[in-house]
């Protein structure tokens, strides 16, 4: 289902997710990209690319997420269609928060998502 959902994002939105693989071995690392999942959060983030990433546990700490996020954000910025993007991260997910903040995402507010407090972060496209 995830493969079908991710594939459908591209023709509908003009952006989506990429499958990440290790160059040396071709081994699957995880997924990273942008979506508009119509999350029921306030303020609404509909129509704004939502960045997300999930990596295999063996791949944590090897720089895969940084390398992929660098490329993905550069790609999104070059498109010029959006002023920026957002992401939703659980407050206790320190590794993802560090990554997001390192790439210019700034804490906006705590929102309720699926019954849990979740941090909404926003990144503005560089001028």
Q: Which domains, from first to last, does the chain contain?
A: 2-124 (3.40.630.30)
**Looking at the predicted structure, is the pLDDT value of residue 84 above 90?**
yes
Q: How far apart are CA 111 and CA 32, in angstroms?
A: 22
User: Which pLDDT value is given to residue 2?
Assistant: 65
- Percentage of the residues of the chain whose pLDDT score is greater than 70: 96
For the stretch 8-29, pLDDT in tens is 788 888 999 999 999 999 999 9
Cβ atoms 97, 89 nearer than 8 A = yes
pTM score of the predicted model:
0.92
């Amino acid at each position: 289902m995830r493969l079908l959902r991710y594939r459908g994002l591209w023709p509908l939105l003009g952006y989506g997710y990429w499958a990440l693989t290790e160059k040396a071995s071709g081994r699957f690392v995880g997924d990273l990209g942008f979506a508009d999942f119509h999350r029921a959060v306030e303020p609404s983030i509909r129509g704004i690319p939502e960045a997300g990433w999930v990596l295999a546990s063996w791949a944590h700490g090897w720089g895969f997420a940084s390398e992929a996020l660098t490329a993905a954000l550069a790609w999104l910025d070059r498109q010029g269609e959006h002023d920026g993007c957002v992401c939703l991260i659980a407050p206790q997910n320190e590794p993802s928060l560090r990554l997001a903040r390192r790439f210019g995402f700034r804490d906006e507010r705590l929102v309720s998502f699926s019954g849990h407090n979740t941090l909404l972060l926003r990144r503005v496209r560089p001028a």
